Amino acid sequence: MTICTAFSILAGAAGLRAEAPLSAIDWLSESVSTPASAPAATPAVPDEAPVTQDALPEDVTTSVLGAPSPDALGVLSPKVTGLPAALWGDASVAEIREAIARTRTDSLPALQGLLMTLLLAESDPPSDAGNEGTLLLARIDKLLAMGALEQAQALMDMVEEPDPALFRRSFDVDLLTGNEDRGCETMTATPSLAPTLPARIFCLARAGDWNAAALTLETARALGQVTEDEDALLARFLDPELAENLDQLPPPPRMTPLDWRMYEAIGETFPTTTLPLAFAHAELRDPAGWKAQLDAAERLARSGVIDPNLLAGLYSANKAAASGGVWDRVQAFQRLDEALNAGDASAVARALPIAWSAMAAAELEVVLADLVANRVSDIPLEGDAANIALRLELLAPDYSQLVKDKVAKTPREDFLLGLATGDVADRQAPDSMARMIVPAFGSPTLSLDTLSLVAEGRTGELILLAIDRITTGVESDPSGVTEGLAILQRLGMTDTARRTALQLMLLERRG
């Protein structure tokens, strides 16, 4: 790499430094930059004929006539999701994007799964969708906010020629999942992506071209195109011995995936527990310790974005190193797993209440149900253990099959079994939450706003509205629970409505 090349790279980056971030996600790395905007045209002089400044044609925006909009892309077809192809009805891109952005991601597990299905769904694009992929980007950003990196990447991989905004997100996913070499190769092979200085230095070093990386940094210093903080981190990243002999760097005010990986490289890894959920994926890689991997996997499993079996594998990997917190869950899961493997009803009866209590403390009851409900259902249990087994069966994916032959022992169990089988009309509601649930499965009255969305075929927005109504209803307005469940029923999502109602009854989620 020549000095002229380095100056050229840095000069290009300098003109882009002041641009606004490409996304509202403030933790994305500034790994690429878009071209600087063209200067404004010279205004015409009054009462004079316009003067042609040059003979070059004006810049125009072009698009392929009839080309499919990226907003239609999805990894789940209507046949798989059960959602209509005309998912968004008469809604505009702006309206849908706003609805997606304001939808909360801290809802019940059933609603988190519903939201992810909606974001991954293939559908007809809105009527005003162009070729910019605005709605696609909004869906990807929501997935990133949920920590669903694998799912977001699956959507991004469907775009044949990603633009800088899309690649920026893909590169950060690569950084957090240990696939940074793929991102660097794409960046090198696609000059239009215009890598920024830190990203270029990182990729040069990853490719083993340490001399070019060092020269780029030295040139940046000479041109004043690197801040003190960037210089300090990049210098240590390129020279590990330097990092050993200098004081530890303070964390940046806004940690990005690129920052995190470079701090990790110099031995100054920061825990991800206080960072956005997406960062937890970085702790699942081999360099992380077992405790860090456990903490990360629990966060991601709680949000429903990783396979519960990944967490089960980590729970079973070693013997607990201490007690309290995650170590209690490790011990409890291992004892329950051993008892179930042995088919020892007495051991299961002792281990099950402890495991339930430990997992409930971390809001991982549904994860536990996914892992053991089918196995527990084959064990004859009594008393407290039997009650917990029923809860697990009701929270399991195939709840209706697991409880179809159950006989209720209390009015509460009778109501729960009625929910699971779709028959609550003549059942006694055991508490206030149940009284909010019952009308949703009858003939509820929907609000005018909701009926307007129904009339316009805006199914996607109705789903988002249902998630919002139920989530806020749990915290402050119980009537929202009724309407949210009623919307799901109106859309034919009976299984999701039942599953959500069961979680409302069985999980302690009050904001």
Tens of pLDDT, residue by residue over 333-390, are: 999 999 999 999 999 999 999 999 999 999 999 999 999 999 999 999 999 999 999 9
Domain-ending residue, one of 354, 381, 406: 406
Residue 120 CB coordination number (10 Å): 20
Domain identity same for 324 and 356:
yes
The answer to whether the beta carbons of residues 312 and 368 sit under 8 Å apart is no
What is the rounded distance in angstroms from the CA atom of residue 432 to the CA atom of residue 427? 14
Task: Determine, yes or no, domain membership for 172.
Answer: no
Q: Which residue has the tokens 């403390």?
A: 361
Above 70 in pLDDT, residue 280? Answer: yes
What is the rounded distance in angstroms from the CA atom of residue 444 to the CA atom of residue 485? 10
What are the phi and psi torsion angles at 462 (to 5°)?
-65, -40
Boundaries of domain holding 396: 307-406
Task: Determine, yes or no, domain membership for 465.
Answer: yes
Above 60 in pLDDT, residue 57? Answer: no
Task: Determine, yes or no, domain membership for 389.
Answer: yes
Domain identity same for 328 and 401:
yes
For 395-443, how does the pLDDT look when each residue is reduced to its tens digit (9 = 90+)? 999 999 999 999 999 999 999 999 998 888 889 999 999 999 999 998 8
Domain identity same for 418 and 375:
no
pLDDT at 37: 39
Tokens of 497: 């409505």
Name the DSSP class of 55: S
For residue 32, give the 3-state DSSP assignment: strand
Task: Determine, yes or no, domain membership for 169.
Answer: no
For 430-464, how does the pLDDT look when each residue is reduced to its tens digit (9 = 90+)? 999 999 999 999 888 888 989 999 999 999 999 99
pLDDT at 161: 86
67 band by pLDDT with thresholds 50, 70 and 90: low
Task: Determine, yes or no, domain membership for 468.
Answer: yes
Of 31-35, 136-140, 257-261, 323-327, the range with the lowest mean pLDDT is 31-35
The answer to whether the beta carbons of residues 233 and 263 sit under 8 Å apart is yes
7 band by pLDDT with thresholds 50, 70 and 90: very low
Integer CA distances (angstroms), 105 to 110, 144, 296, 469, in order: 11, 11, 17, 13
Task: Determine, yes or no, domain membership for 143.
Answer: no
Domain identity same for 397 and 418:
no
What is the rounded distance in angstroms from the CA atom of residue 475 to the CA atom of residue 472? 5
23 band by pLDDT with thresholds 50, 70 and 90: very low
Tell me what percent of the residues of the chain surpass a pLDDT of 70.
88
Q: Which residue has the tokens 């300098």?
A: 14
3 band by pLDDT with thresholds 50, 70 and 90: very low
Tokens of 48: 């004079």
pTM of the complete model: 0.88
Alpha helices in 207-325 (DSSP H): 210-223, 228-238, 240-245, 257-265, 290-302, 308-315
What is the rounded distance in angstroms from the CA atom of residue 299 to the CA atom of residue 305? 9
Name the DSSP class of 280: G
The dihedral built from the CA positions of residue 235, 241, 242 and 246, taken in this order, carries a sign that is: positive
Tokens of 370: 């996914």
Domain identity same for 311 and 402:
yes
The answer to whether the beta carbons of residues 336 and 351 sit under 8 Å apart is yes
Alpha helices in 121-163 (DSSP H): 134-146, 149-156
pLDDT at 386: 97
The answer to whether the beta carbons of residues 118 and 462 sit under 8 Å apart is no
pLDDT at 356: 98
Q: List CB contacts of 90: < 8 A, sequence separation 6 or more.
A: 127, 456, 457, 458
- 259 class by beta-carbon count within 10 Å (0-12 exposed, 13-18 middle, 19+ buried): buried
pLDDT at 192: 86
For residue 57, give the 3-state DSSP assignment: coil
Task: Determine, yes or no, domain membership for 35.
Answer: no
What is the rounded distance in angstroms from the CA atom of residue 176 to the CA atom of residue 281? 6
Domain identity same for 419 and 397:
no
Domain-ending residue, one of 347, 381, 406: 406
Domain identity same for 491 and 427:
yes
Domain-ending residue, one of 356, 383, 406: 406
Above 90 in pLDDT, residue 478? Answer: no
The answer to whether the beta carbons of residues 373 and 391 sit under 8 Å apart is no
Element (H, E) at 14: helix 3-14
Please give the residue that has the higher pLDDT: either 239 or 9: 239
477 band by pLDDT with thresholds 50, 70 and 90: confident
Task: Determine, yes or no, domain membership for 485.
Answer: yes
The answer to whether the beta carbons of residues 87 and 123 sit under 8 Å apart is yes
Domain identity same for 461 and 377:
no
pLDDT at 246: 81
What are the phi and psi torsion angles at 76 (to 5°)?
-120, 120
What is the rounded distance in angstroms from the CA atom of residue 267 to the CA atom of residue 327? 26
For residue 296, give the 3-state DSSP assignment: helix
For residue 160, give the 3-state DSSP assignment: coil
The answer to whether the beta carbons of residues 441 and 425 sit under 8 Å apart is yes
Q: List CB contacts of 170: < 8 A, sequence separation 6 or more.
A: 153, 156, 162, 183, 186
| Structural domains of the chain, count | 2
Domain identity same for 469 and 417:
yes
